[in-house]
Amino acid sequence: MPEADYVTISSGDLTARIDPLGAELCSLTDSHGREFMTDADPAFWTGHAPLLFPIVGGLNDDRYRIDGSEYELPRHGFARRSRFDVIAAEANEARFLLRDSDETRAVYPFAFELEVAYHIEGTTLRVEATVRNPGTAALPFSFGYHPAFAWPLPGGSPKSDHVIAFAEPEPQPIRRLEAASGLMQSDAEPTPVEGHHLKLDTALFEADAVIWDHLTSRSLTYGTPGAAQLALAFPDLPMLALWQKPGAAFLCIEPWQGHADPVGFSGDFRDKPGVVQLAPAGSRSFRMDVSVLWAD
């Protein structure tokens, strides 16, 4: 979509630009114009911060089974490629809405509403995605954020000085995706986290994403201590992935509710790990706060 169609919100200290196609955050800059999002270099990946709905990750053969029928969905679902309605656009906040349609019901046979609200206050951007079930049956879904932040962040620190600092120790093993299928492997690997801290290195991502399917922390900081950092809070999301393509100037920090199919999974979608069952007339919200921290 042309950038002229983006919705821009700002506090003066922080400015965000959001594309109604996917309700996707495409830019986050401070008052000096310093960019904290990916450069979207097409040599690596042109995404910015897609919203993952109604699935996170890939399906076994890109297909899932539910209530005796089978459907096909691409990796991460259809929300990221769907145009949202802009239902509010104010100076420092905007709201976007995606409803089910004939097109979505052909691949996901449920009534739903996905509303995404962006709000900036000071140097914090709050994103809150709310899923509502206007139907008469339980609504099964997963949801995830997929923001790609600049790596290195502005400020002059090299990539090698950047770390992830988790709010809590994270000694549990990590999970990986099978290279051929993109599905979750059953075997786990020892964590690369030492206490609270993960030293970032492109070698971590030579085997694709690093995934925590049972994360203790619900917040972290990313960047260089004593220089530019981002603080992320995701109180409603129990899983996390880190991903990049070696050589690219971005790092994806992805809070999730749900993940790719386990290798060999062929059960009903409602029984898949991480799938939420939302009762009729119910709603479920998922928040992510991104705060810019400068040493000065």
Domain boundaries, the chain: 3-293
CB 238 within 8 A of CB 254: no
Q: Pick the closest to residue 261 from 145, 178, 151, 143 (CA basis).
A: 178
Mean pLDDT of 229-248: 97
> DSSP readout, 66-83?
ETTEEEE--TTBSGGGSB
pLDDT tens-digit map of 82-103 = 999 999 999 999 999 999 999 9
Cα distance between residue 266 and residue 141, in whole Å: 17
For 180, other C-beta atoms within 10 Å of its C-beta total: 7
pLDDT tens-digit map of 264-274 = 999 999 999 99
Bridge partner list, 188? 175
Q: What is the largest CA-CA distance in the chain?
A: 59
Residues with Cβ within 8 Å of 64's Cβ and at least 6 positions away in sequence, in order, are 55, 70, 71, 73, 261, 269, 272
Cα distance between residue 120 and residue 286, in whole Å: 17
Examine the pLDDT at 1 and tell me if it is beyond 70. no
CA 136 from chain center: how many Å?
28
Q: What is the reported pLDDT for 295?
A: 65
Q: Helix or strand or coil: residue 161? A: helix
**pTM (whole model) above 0.85:** yes
pLDDT tens-digit map of 112-156 = 999 999 999 999 999 999 999 999 999 999 999 999 999 999 999
Residue type, 80: R
Question: For tokens 């104010």, what's the residue?
Answer: 90
HSE of 189, CA atoms in CB hemisphere, 13 A: 16
Mean pLDDT of 167-181: 97
96-102, long-range: CB < 8 A, 24+ apart: 96/7, 96/18, 96/20, 96/23, 98/23
Q: Please state the length of the chain.
A: 296
Cα distance between residue 111 and residue 113, in whole Å: 7
- What per-residue string of b and e applies to 5-19 under the rule 16 or more CB within 10 Å gives b? ebbebebeebbbbbb
Residue type, 201: D
Q: What is the reported pLDDT for 294?
A: 82
What six digits make up the tokens of 177?
Answer: 């995706």
Cα distance between residue 274 and residue 102, in whole Å: 26
Mean pLDDT of 158-162: 96
- Residue 237's φ and ψ, nearest 5 degrees, are -125, 120
Bridge partner list, 250? 150
Question: For tokens 């239902």, what's the residue?
Answer: 87
pLDDT tens-digit map of 29-80 = 999 999 999 999 999 999 999 999 999 999 999 999 999 999 999 999 999 9
Q: What is the reported pLDDT for 3?
A: 74
Cα distance between residue 42 and residue 141, in whole Å: 30
Alpha carbon distances (Å) from 57 to 49, 209, 218, 237, 256: 14, 11, 20, 15, 10
Examine the pLDDT at 110 and tell me if it is beyond 80. yes
Confidence bin at 4 (pLDDT 50/70/90): low
CATH of domain 3-293: 2.70.98.10
Tell me what the pLDDT averaged over the chain comes to. Answer: 96
CB 78 within 8 A of CB 85: no
